[in-house]
Structure 1
Amino acid sequence: MKQVLHLMLAATMAVGMPSGRAGNVPAADAALGEGEWRFSDAPVWQDEFDYEGQPDPAKWGYDLGGTGWGNNELQYYTDRAHNVHVAEGMLTIVARREDHEGNAYTSARLVSKHKGDFLYGRFEVRAKLPTGLGTWPAIWMLPTDQAYGGWPHSGEIDIMEHVGYDPGVVHASVHTGAYHHSIGTQKTATKRVQGVGEDFHVYRVDWTPRDIRAFIDGEEVFVFANEGTGPAAWPFDQRFHLLLNIAVGGDWGGQKGVDETAFPASMVVDWVRVHALENP
């Protein structure tokens, strides 16, 4: 059966969208039922971390430095095995209390930019989170091409965020020019999850031209609909890439301080999988 992929992978896996689906969703499509979209059974991009050493360089790069990252964060991101490594079938990102390049903490931030860039799809990560005051792990997505300008105008998709001062409360959000925390209009949802630091949970986003839906262990926790009013509200018709990181402190993560004894703090990832959005 002929199927058209609605997920764009960078370089070797790029697939365009048929006309009439890109950009804003036509009113007729917006009214369609839940069965309009489906996702490929097998992942089209994945990392099972079934190897040893550093993360696969064909799939992951790094954001490096200690600039505060727009949130007054305290960590310096490195690409050292001290902060990120793969062993025993797991990826581990470790935030540490150590002086490095003028920062008091180190950590790592993996990015799939230009190695896995996607337009629509299902994004799943099975992970166990760090806990402790000042930890701020995130599984999220940013625009690859900044087609509508700098943050927040080109969008952000937060699959999972957790701040250590509010243990067990997981956040899923989007940011756009019209909807972001700086002006008090951010679209977000929270879910209390038992054992975020002791147990693995599956954090997922389903992204279609109609809406973005977030799930935790298969339970839907957040829906953000395409209003059809343009990129200020819906910049999500462009390629995005994945990010995995632990931040330390910052405007949100550090609101109640940072407990130095909570470090080293680790986020352990079992797998990352991306499924194509298919049009029946």
Structure 2
Amino acid sequence: MQDMTPAPRPWRGFLPAFAAALTACGGGSATSAPAPAPAAVAASAPAPSNKWALVWSDEFDGSAGTVPNAAHWNYDLGNAENSGWGNHEHQYYTANARNAQLDGAGMLVITAEKAANPGPCWNGAPCGYTSARIHTSNKVNFTYGKVEARMKLPSGQGIWPAFWSLGQTGQWPASGEIDIMEFIGKTPNATYGTAHGTGYSGAQGIGKPRDFGGPVADDFHTYTIVKRVNEIIWYVDGTEYHRLTPASLPAGSPWVFEKPFFVILNLAIGGDWPGAPDATTVLPARMLVDWVRIYKEN
């Protein structure tokens, strides 16, 4: 990042320790020392041109079994420590390579699997699963531009993969949340794009489904947002399906998106929205990420 200027359902990202200035990983985990200032992907809003220049990417090109690049990615950890991530989720997030590693063929693989008591869940019982949630807070962020990932998602009851972003500063929901892609196994033919802010958070988030007309998990797809001043646009495979402007918000609600955001990738199991896994759920479940890219608009 050097030399750069660079629907309705429960809240996707619970951040109980989110302070006025975020200096830890999204999810409220504490750190022992302040993190360095993140490189900004875009310092000011470009004029709309639909001409794009790549300013950052992770192509996940590395040896099989290696973990995500620490220069780009942090880990969120636990479950009970973060109140089930605000959604009564069933997985315990780890930094173990079993849950997030490169496959040696240009893919990041986030794996959710059954586990024997990896740590406590929000309800006091041992969590039954492990998975991973990684993010770029205080390492890579974007204010404006195009942000996208090419991914192949797992399917099954209780499966909940997501590609999303949170405002680098502020307390949720005033910090803002942009869900670039969410998928739940009980609606196998659709993904969802949603925005959250003060007055339109949680179940009142402003979102739309994107109907694929067949199982989402059958193939790779590219999930994108374009973020400009007073505008966010969602795409799947280059086709727009949702657009948000200040005029879209409930009366009196603030537009909270003119600030840097960071990127999050995770694979949750269970929760208020997808429901618990059942006997039909195939585990391990694997979320494949071919690449994540951020562009500025010329």
TM-score by shorter chain over 0.5:
yes
Instruction: Write the mapping of 1:255-266 to structure 2, written as runs, cut at 5 A.
Output: 257-259=276-278, 261-266=281-286
Distance 1:217 1:14 in 2: 23
What's the counterpart of residue 198 of structure 1?
A: 218
Q: Secondary structure at the match of 2:232?
A: strand
Q: Give the one of 145, 149, 168 matched to 1:125.
A: 149
Q: Among 75, 83, 90, which residue is 1:62 paired with?
A: 75
- Aligned to 1:98, which of 115, 134, 140? 115
Structure 2 residue 234 is matched with structure 1 residue 224: no
> In the aligned structure 1, how far is the partner of 2:217 from the partner of 2:129?
20
Paired residues, number: 250
How does 1:113-192 map onto structure 2 within 5 Å?
113-146=137-170, 150-182=171-203, 185-192=204-211
* Shift in Å, 1:231: 9.5
> What is the SS of the residue equivalent to 1:236?
coil
- 1:39–1:276 Cα contact (<8 Å) kept: no
Task: Write the distance in 2 (CA, Å) between the matches of 1:159 and 1:228.
Answer: 17
> Would the alpha carbon gap of residues 39 and 46 (structure 1) be closer, same or farther in structure 2, given more than 3 Å must change?
farther
Shift of residue 192, structure 1, vs aligned partner: 1.6
Question: Residues 213 and 259 from structure 1, CA distance in 2 versus in 1: closer, same or farther, beyond 3 angstroms?
Answer: same
TM-score calculated relative to the size of structure 2: 0.78
Secondary structure of 1:103's aligned partner? coil
Partner of 2:43: 16
Secondary structure of 2:273 counterpart: helix
Identical-pair percentage: 39
Report deviation, 1:50: 1.1
Once residues 139 and 258 of structure 2 are traced to their aligned partners in structure 1, the CA distance between those partners, rounded to angstroms, is 19
Distance 2:151 2:199 in 1: 31
**Secondary structure at 1:42's aligned position in 2?**
strand
What is the distance in 2 between the residues matched to 1:131 and 1:219? 23
Matches within 5 A, 1:201-280: 201-227=221-247, 232-254=253-275, 257-259=276-278, 261-278=281-298
Q: State how far apart, in whole Å, the 2-side matches of 1:63 and 1:215 are.
A: 27
Q: Secondary structure at the match of 1:38?
A: coil
- Measured in 2, the distance between the counterparts of 1:208 and 1:78 equals 34
Q: Which runs of 5+ in 1 are unaligned?
A: 22-34
Shift of 1:16: 3.2
Does structure 1 retain, via aligned residues, the 8 Å contact 2:111–2:286? yes
Secondary structure in structure 2 of the residue aligned to 1:54 = coil
Identify the residue that residue 27 of structure 1 maps to in structure 2.
Answer: none
Q: CA deviation at 1:168?
A: 1.8
Tell whether the 8 Å contact from 1:39 to 1:275 is kept in structure 2 after alignment. Answer: no
Q: Distance in 2 between matches of 1:223 and 1:97?
A: 38
CA deviation string 1:5-38 (max 9, x = no partner): 874xx54556533xxx6xxxxxxxxxxxxx9413
Deviation (angstroms), 1:228: 10
1:132–1:165: 8 Å Cα contact kept in structure 2?
yes
- Tell me: CA distance 1:42–1:14, structure 2 relative to 1, closer, same or farther (3 Å): closer
